[in-house]
């Protein structure tokens, strides 16, 4: 993928060979492809290694190996791995891009293809697939697609879509009312702001500090951040903290008090209040009710 000024530079241009109807890539970390972006194509994104934060529209969550998401055209998205400074990973993602026209045109010739329409409609908000059997089968098909060429690759791809369209185990991610700004200027601005917040949210992080870093006033920063990200600054920070706390509660035995301070809160009462606000249960209730769950 590359930026092509002759093909609407506000989009990430997906370079697809003329002899293929879908586009497959895989990459590690670091990569220039890891940024807040969008494009004209649908994207199927499978994470094979690392953990971190996933952003789809106005959704913020955690990802682990096996995270599989379908994103519709023009819905901004990004996966950011939690890695040590200087750490590299040879393979993190397997990604398939396909144009909406591919399946809409096929439906006119093959009525059976209409069964995929609900899947593609739901993808407008981003879909995460969560059943272990579905994820295992999808991973096998991704590997088969990576190895295949020509008609065989297309057949494997259709098998993957059939698998995903037949499962009831998924969840939508972005809110229905979110209307993202997708011009390159705003996306680049949000990338810079989000990168700084992600580096520092596990400590006290006042608005004036981030506004100063972004070289703007607090008022201007707040308005623009809400317009571009879909979140108030304080809500964005709290979601990052609660998502990180949820991961620690589900996957570790770390005491709740230690988790509270580790994710950036300076008192347990505030942590409990925020956790209840976002999860509708206390941290202890969450740990008891969802052991080893996929967040």
**pLDDT, tens digit (0-9, with 9 covering 90-100), for 154-175:** 999 999 999 999 999 999 999 8
CA distance 202 to 32: 25
The predicted model gives 77-103 an average pLDDT of: 94
Residues 6+ apart with CB under 8 A from 117: 107
Tell me what pLDDT residue 7 has: 35
The boundaries of every CATH 2.60.120.280 domain in the chain are 23-172
- Name which of 12-16, 148-152, 255-259 the model is least confident about: 12-16
Statement: residue 5 has pLDDT above 80:
no
Tell me the pLDDT band of 12, cut-offs 50, 70 and 90: low
Residue 178 pLDDT class (50, 70, 90 cuts): confident
Three-state DSSP class for 112? Answer: helix
Residue 278 · residue 235 · CB < 8 Å: no
Residue 81 pairs in a beta bridge with 52
The phi, psi pair for 89, rounded to 5°, reads -130, 125
Q: What is the pLDDT of residues 127-154, one digit of tens each?
A: 999 999 999 999 999 999 999 999 999 9
**Which residues of the chain does CATH 1.10.10.60 include?**
184-289
Average pLDDT (225-236) is: 92
For residue 55, the cross-strand partners are 60, 78
Q: Of 1.20.58.100, 1.10.10.60, 3.40.50.720, 1.10.10.10, which CATH number belongs to 184-289?
A: 1.10.10.60
The answer to which of 15-24, 51-60, 87-96 has the lowest mean pLDDT is 15-24
Tell whether the model's pLDDT for residue 40 goes beyond 70: yes
Asked if residue 15 has pLDDT above 90, the reply is: no
**The predicted structure's pLDDT at residue 13:** 63
> Sign of torsion, CA 38 2 92 89?
negative
Beta pairing class for 59-63 and 23-29:
unpaired
pLDDT (0 to 100) of residue 199: 93
Say which residues have a Cβ less than 8 Å from residue 268's Cβ, sequence separation at least 6.
256, 257, 260
CA distances (Å), origin 251, targets 83, 242, 244, 274, 292: 17, 14, 11, 20, 6
Q: Which residue has the tokens 């096996």?
A: 66
Span 23-172: which CATH code? 2.60.120.280
Beta bridge partners of 62: 53
Average per-residue pLDDT for the chain: 90
Residues 102 and 99: their CA atoms lie apart, in Å, by 5
DSSP 8-state class, residue 113: G
Rounded alpha-carbon distances, angstroms, from residue 196 to 200, 213, 214: 6, 8, 9
* Distance of alpha carbon 56 from alpha carbon 66, whole angstroms: 17
CA of 85: how far to CAs of 20, 81, 82, 114, 222, in Å? 38, 11, 10, 47, 30
Contact of 63 with 135, CB cutoff 8 Å: no
What's the pLDDT score for residue 294? 42
Which residue in this structure is represented by tokens 């890891």?
Answer: 34
């Amino acid at each position: 993928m590359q930026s092509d000024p002759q093909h609407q530079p506000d989009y990430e241009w997906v370079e697809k060979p003329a002899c293929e109807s879908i586009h497959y890539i895989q990459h590690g970390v670091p990569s220039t492809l890891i940024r807040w972006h969008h494009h004209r194509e649908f994207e199927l994104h499978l994470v094979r290694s690392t953990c971190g934060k996933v952003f789809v529209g106005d959704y913020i969550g955690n990802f682990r190996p096996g995270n599989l998401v379908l994103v519709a055209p023009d819905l901004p998205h990004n996966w950011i791995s939690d890695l040590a400074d200087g750490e590299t990973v040879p393979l993190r993602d397997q990604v398939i891009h396909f144009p909406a026209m591919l399946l809409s045109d096929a439906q006119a010739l093959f009525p059976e293809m209409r069964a995929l329409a609900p899947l593609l409609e739901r993808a407008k908000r981003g879909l995460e697939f969560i059943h272990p059997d579905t994820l295992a089968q999808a991973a096998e098909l991704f590997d088969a697609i990576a190895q295949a060429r020509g008609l065989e690759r297309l057949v494997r791809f259709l098998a993957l879509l059939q698998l995903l369209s037949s499962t009831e185990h998924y969840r939508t991610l972005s809110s229905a009312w979110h209307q993202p700004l997708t011009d390159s200027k705003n996306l680049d601005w949000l990338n810079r702001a989000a990168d700084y917040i992600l580096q520092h949210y596990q400590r006290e992080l006042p608005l004036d500090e981030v506004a100063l870093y972004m070289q703007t006033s607090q008022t201007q920063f707040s308005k623009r951040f809400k317009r571009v990200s879909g979140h108030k600054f304080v809500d964005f920070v709290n979601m990052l903290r609660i998502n990180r706390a949820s991961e620690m509660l589900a996957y570790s035995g770390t005491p709740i008090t230690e988790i509270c301070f580790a994710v950036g809160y300076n008192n347990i009462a505030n942590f409990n209040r925020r956790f209840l606000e976002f999860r509708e249960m206390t941290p202890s209730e969450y740990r008891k009710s969802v052991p080893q769950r996929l967040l």
